[in-house]
Amino acid sequence: MSESLQPQPRFESPSHYVRGRHSGNVQSVTDAGLVVTEVNNGCYLNLRGDASNAEFNAAVLSVLGISLPLMPGTFMANDTECLYWLGPNEWLLVSAQPGQKREAELRAVLNGHIAVVDVSGGFTQLNLSGPSLNFVLKKSSVYDFEAWWIQPKNDLRCVQTTFAKASALVIGQSQGTVAIIIRRSFTDYIAQWLLDCAADNGCFISP
């Protein structure tokens, strides 16, 4: 019998080896200055196309139920899909659906010069929250996240920027919570950075 018939390949998320770690004198999520929680999304797809092409926009809307965000630094979301603006002709789709399925659905309706690339293995999402969050963001990135909370706009905000010495897509959620989408190979480094960064009041990575 071929071994390939064995069921259920084992999935190992990028944060597999750092889950449950903590710094400072904290033992749980309740007393930590910073709580880090990995979110396992269904898929990450990189989408390229011409934003000025109405057919392109309509096709995306027809598959995902949300329109392309066209304003820099914003995103669109519904219950299962998020589309993040990465550039004038580039978006990141984070979906609860499997990557192959979404890619096939998009390719079926998109025409012309487009690209859809499954990058599900390349990214992970960490949600950051807790009283140390703003301090941690100031330490980690040159971007002015404070402005998101001071002058709230109706748009959902996100930005690709530096995070420590790596890069991240930082997403504003509610006041006091952000998500970062980072490259898989930097996960251990980012985790180590966050543990160090928030050590004064403790950092806890959810198991």
Which of 3/79 has CB closer to another protein? 3
Q: Which residues are at the interface with another protein (CB under 8 A)?
A: 2-14, 17, 46, 48, 89-90, 99-100, 113-115, 117-123, 135, 138-139, 141-144, 146-147, 150, 164-166, 183-189, 192-193, 196-197, 200
Q: Closest approach of Cβ 91 to another protein, in Å?
A: 11
CB of 154 to another protein, least distance (A): 19
Closest separation in Å from C-beta 180 to another protein: 14
Give yes or no for a contact between 128 and 35, defined as CB atoms under 8 angstroms apart. Answer: yes
What's the closest the beta carbon of residue 16 comes to another protein, in angstroms? 8
**For residue 42, what are the contacts with CB-CB under 8 A and spacing of at least 6?**
94, 95, 96, 97, 98, 99, 120
* CB-nearer residue toward another protein: 10 or 108: 10
The C-alpha atoms of residue 146 and residue 132 are separated, in whole angstroms, by 13
CA atoms of 170 and 142, how far apart (whole Å): 12
**Closer residue to another protein, CB minimum distance, 179 or 195:** 195
Closer CB to another protein, residue 64 or residue 92? Answer: 92
Shortest distance (Å) from residue 119 CB to another protein? 5
Closer to another protein at the Cβ: 167 or 173? 167
User: To the nearest whole angstrom, how small is the minimum distance from the Cβ of residue 187 to another protein?
Assistant: 8
Q: What is the DSSP letter of 177?
A: E
Q: What is the DSSP letter of 53?
A: -
Alpha helices in 65-132 (DSSP H): 99-109
31 or 90: CB nearest another protein: 90
Which regions of 100-207 does DSSP assign to beta strands (E)? 115-118, 123-129, 156-163, 166-172, 177-183, 203-205
**Beta carbons of 32 and 203 less than 8 angstroms apart:** yes
